[in-house]
Amino acid sequence: MSRGRFARWFDMRGWTLLLIGAPYVWLVILFLLPFLIVVAMSVATNTPTAPPFSYGGDHPWINLEPFSRVLTDGLYLRAFLTSIMNAFVAMVLCLLIGYPMALGLTRVSKSWRTILLMLVILPFWTSFLLRVYAWMGLMGKNSWFNGLLTDFWNFLVPLDWAIRSVPMMHTNFAVVLVMVYTYLPFMILPLYASLERLDPTLDEAAMDLGSRPYQVFLDVTLPQSIPGIIAGGMLVFIPAAGELVIPSLVGNASQPMIGKIIQDEFGQARDWPMASAVAVALLVLMVVPTMIYSRYQAKAEGAK
């Protein structure tokens, strides 16, 4: 066998190098580098040049003013608060709806389960934007859905309180509702995955030992599904907190969420360092739940 030196090198090392190297280099250039630029940008000084930043002037190299503004300026604090509140409420509602749905999915027959799981995933494959849009149609003043809710309200309350339509569009309520709608599959799937693995004989054992159904749930099912709850919660909370599209379509423009602030600082204000500082602050906020999650997971792995 007389293989060339290149062919031998390629078999021994080159092939592996190519396999690892190509995606590695791609991610370093197009993901890590842009990210590091944002971090570096967050300590730069805003200048009226193009591109609008510099590392000189009154604050050579490191300018912490953008960060101090994030922590002191009410505009940013309010936006962070709105984002966290909306994302948190959406996460809790997703859990309250998604948990019984996931539990229900584990209790139906095998063939039904396949169909229903497919139905959970299907909306995820259709356009996210159009799912948001679908709710715009339902929440509008003249829609059948709003009319139904209005009639229901007017039926319940005295005449003085009667309303013409339910003010749903352009509120935080609308933002949370649409977030719950679009992110519900993210909650159901990890919950289902963790509930499906549970051993049904444990339930039966607890029942045989005299536990009531709700006690079985609290003592047996719920503790074992905590990894699923945390995973689902993260999958809902993180994209919801950084959401840009939903508040732009159904939200209240006077109560912007943090994504909108980043976009405006960059686009309208042309203040790249400020936009970057807000982005870095948002990331720090995301890192905390991620750390809790990975620490919890490491502990769970260790327990096995």
Residue 142 binds to other proteins (criterion: CB under 8 A): yes
Closest CA to 166 of 184, 148, 186: 148
Nearer to other proteins, 39 or 157 (CB): 39
Answer for which of 81, 92, 97, 166 binds other proteins (CB under 8 A) is 97
Residue 269 binds to other proteins (criterion: CB under 8 A): no
Residue 179 binds to other proteins (criterion: CB under 8 A): no
Contacts to other proteins from residues 57-96, by CB under 8 A: none
**Backbone phi and psi for residue 46, each to the nearest 5 degrees, phi listed first:** -75, 130
Closest CA to 231 of 105, 102, 38: 102
Joined tokens for residue 46 = 């805003």
Residue 119 binds to other proteins (criterion: CB under 8 A): yes
Nearer to other proteins, 2 or 157 (CB): 2
Piece of 68-76, 128-136, 190-198, 224-232 that binds other proteins (CB under 8 A): 128-136
Q: CB–CB of 242/259 below 8 Å? A: yes
Residue 51 binds to other proteins (criterion: CB under 8 A): yes
Query: CB 159 → other proteins: shortest distance, Å?
Result: 26
Residue 48 binds to other proteins (criterion: CB under 8 A): no
Residue 298 binds to other proteins (criterion: CB under 8 A): no
Contacts to other proteins from residues 226-245, by CB under 8 A: 234, 238-239, 241-242, 244-245
Answer for which of 85, 92, 101, 149 binds other proteins (CB under 8 A) is 101
Nearer to other proteins, 230 or 238 (CB): 238
Contacts to other proteins from residues 277-296, by CB under 8 A: 279, 282-283, 286, 290
Closest CA to 233 of 190, 175, 199: 190
Half-sphere exposure of 238 (CA within 13 A, CB side): 17
Joined tokens for residue 141 = 């003043």
CA angle 139, 144, 148 (to 5 degrees): 90
Residue 184 binds to other proteins (criterion: CB under 8 A): yes
Answer for which of 191, 231, 275, 277 binds other proteins (CB under 8 A) is 275
d(CA 97, CA 87): 15
Joined tokens for residue 27 = 């991610």
**DSSP reduced 3-state for 104:** helix
d(CA 188, CA 105): 9
